[in-house]
Structure 1
Amino acid sequence: MRLHQASAGIVRLPPSLPDAGQARPAIEIPWREAWPVPPEEICACSREALVHHGYMTGALQASRGCALRIRRLWQRHDARRLERSILLLDERQRCHVAAWIRIELLAFEPRLKRQLVESDLPFGGILARAGIRPSFSGRQYFALPGLFAASGAIAYRRCCDRHYGRSHYMLGEDGRVLAEVYEALP
C-alpha cells in the first residue's frame, strides 16, 4: 500500500499498474492526484452514493433503479489474487462507478474463485449471493480533479465540480481481508 501526502492528510493509493509489457487499462483514473476529504465536504448528490455502510453497487442499484454490470478495463490474477480496474455500467452503458479492486482469492472456496475471475457481476453482488456479509474497515473519502475524458459510455450524471470516491478494506467474518477497493464516481 502506498500513501500520498496531501494538505488535508494522507490518502491510501492503489498499487502501481503493471509494467509496460503487460496490459494496461483503456482508461486511466488519476488516483495519484487524490486528496482526502471529510464526508461532509462531498457534494450532496455524490455524498448519497458514497457515504453509507453497505456495498456501493447495492446502494446505487437501489437509489438509481437499475442493474449494474462490470466492464473490465484491465485484469490480472494468479492463484492468490485478482486485481482489476472496472467500470460499473447500467443497461444503457452509462457509467456509475470507476473502480480498482484487489480480491484475495485465497479467502474463497474454489467454486467462488472461478466466479470472481470470470463473472461480469460486481464483487458485492457475488458475495451477497454466496451469503457472505463482509464488514468494512479503513474507509477513506477523497476528491479527484477529474476522472477521464467523457464519451458516450461515460458519465451517468454530473452534479459536482469535482469527482469524489472512497476506499476501504472488506473483511470476512474472521477479520481476514477479502478485498481492497477504490471507487470513484464519474
Structure 2
Amino acid sequence: MPEPLARCYEGLPTPRLTVVEPEQMPAPYRELLVHDGTMTQTLEGFLGQRLALRVLAQERRGSSLWRQVLLTESVGGRPVELGAIQIDLTCFDEQARTLVLEGRVPLGRLLEDSRLEYTSRPECFFWTEADAAMSEALCVTGAQRLFGRWNRLVGEGERVMAEVVELLPPLEAAPVRRVAARK
C-alpha cells in the first residue's frame, strides 16, 4: 500500500488495489493516467478548464506535508480526482513552499507555474472499489470501480519531491485534448 494512501486509512480497513498493466487500462483512463506528466495538467486538458484544489485533511511533520485533496472543476465544482499526497517541502523555494502550505493551488499547476524541474514517474496503475469515503468525496453512488495511479514526482538530484496516489471518478470516454508538452 503506497504510504500516502495508507495514511488516509490509519486504523481503518484499507482498500484492495488491483494492479492493472498500462495497456490494459480502459479508455478514457489510459489517456488520463498512463503518462509522465502531472494529473492537474492532463485533467485540465481533458476538461478544457483549470482545476481548483480542496484540501480535505492535512498534517505537517517537520519538512514533510501529508494531505488528502480533491481536485474539482473550477466551473461547476464537480470532483475530478481524489488524491493522497506526501510532499517534501525542502524541495521547494520559499515562495513555492508558501503556496504549497496555503493549499489553494493544485501541486501540478504550482510546479508548472513555478517552472520547477521534475520528472513524473508512475509506479503502478490500479483499480479499486469505491468505499464510503471515496464515494462521498467523488460524489458517486455504490461500490463503483475507480481507476488510479501511484506516482512519484522526482526533482533535482533524484530527490522525491512528492509521492501521490490519484483516483478518478467514473468518466465517460471522450476525446482527450492534448496539452503542450513541458519544456
Taking structure 2 as the reference length, the TM-score comes to 0.79
Identity rate of aligned residues, in percent? 28
Q: Does 1:162 align with 2:153?
A: no
Taking structure 1 as the reference length, the TM-score comes to 0.77
Which SS does the other structure have where 1:125 is aligned? helix
Q: Distance in 2 between matches of 1:39 and 1:141?
A: 7
Query: What is the letter of the counterpart of residue 157 of structure 2?
Result: D
Change (3 A) 1:83 1:134: same
Q: Is there any run of 5+ residues in structure 1 with no aligned partner, and where?
A: 4-11, 21-27, 156-160
Change (3 A) 1:51 1:36: same
Contact 1:135 1:173 in 2 (8 A): no
Q: Does 1:149 align with 2:115?
A: no
Q: Is there any run of 5+ residues in structure 2 with no aligned partner, and where?
A: 170-183
Which SS does the other structure have where 1:32 is aligned? coil
Matches within 5 A, 1:36-185: 36-90=19-73, 91-147=75-131, 148-149=134-135, 154=139, 162-185=145-168
Q: Distance in 2 between matches of 1:166 and 1:93?
A: 23
Structure whose residues are more often helix by fraction: 2
Q: Distance in 2 between matches of 1:128 and 1:167?
A: 20
The size of the alignment, in residue pairs, is 162
Which SS does the other structure have where 2:41 is aligned? helix
Per the TM alignment, residue 150 of structure 1 is displaced from its structure 2 partner at its CA by: 5.1
How much is the aligned-residue C-alpha RMSD, in angstroms? 2.4
Per the TM alignment, residue 67 of structure 1 is displaced from its structure 2 partner at its CA by: 1.1
Which SS does the other structure have where 1:62 is aligned? helix
Higher relative contact order (CA 8 A, sep 6+): 2
Per the TM alignment, residue 120 of structure 1 is displaced from its structure 2 partner at its CA by: 1.2
Which SS does the other structure have where 2:45 is aligned? helix
Which SS does the other structure have where 2:97 is aligned? helix
